[in-house]
Amino acid sequence: MAISVPIELGYEFEVKGKYDDVFGVLSDVPTSVSHFPKVDKLTDMGDGVYKWEMQKVGTAQVNIQTVYASKYTSDKAKGTVKWTPVKGVGNALVGGSWKVSDNKGKSTKVVLKIDGTVDVPLPGLMKMVVEPVVAGEFEKLVEKYIDNLVKRFGGEV
């Protein structure tokens, strides 16, 4: 039995970096992912599909590892990078998007949306305890990721 934990996050921030630099990093999946904490392994499965394997969290006896794959597409003219979940890989389905916009050459606005589910192999009775922990951990990782990217792009405006 598994508990399905929904993940829905949205962030908006503005950085000093130029549009081309910001879009270049965010649309290059391995470069972008290099800023994400606790990624154990990223595998290029071809055709824009990447498999993420996160580090195991928990204790030696009880631990979980989030594994999933997403298909990435980007459109520089529209300023979008989108990813859609690939079914049948791992224990999570994660989709989302980056929307990047140039603010008259002075700064770059970035909007991040993430939508997904993580399946945790625990009994349903544990849902009330496990759901906020898993969702909170995911949120912390994404916030650290954003902090790392903001530093890469010269800080927030």
Question: Which tens digits make up the pLDDT trace of 49-106?
Answer: 999 999 987 777 667 889 999 999 999 999 999 999 999 999 999 999 999 999 999 9
> What would the mean pLDDT of 121-134 be, rounded to a whole number?
88
**Integer distance in angstroms from the first to the last C-alpha of the chain?**
46
What residues does each domain of the chain span? 3-152
Query: Which CA distances in Å does 18 have to 77, 108, 143?
Result: 15, 6, 21
Homologous superfamily (CATH) of 3-152 is START domain (3.30.530.20)
Q: What is the pLDDT of residues 91-113, one digit of tens each?
A: 999 999 999 999 999 999 999 99
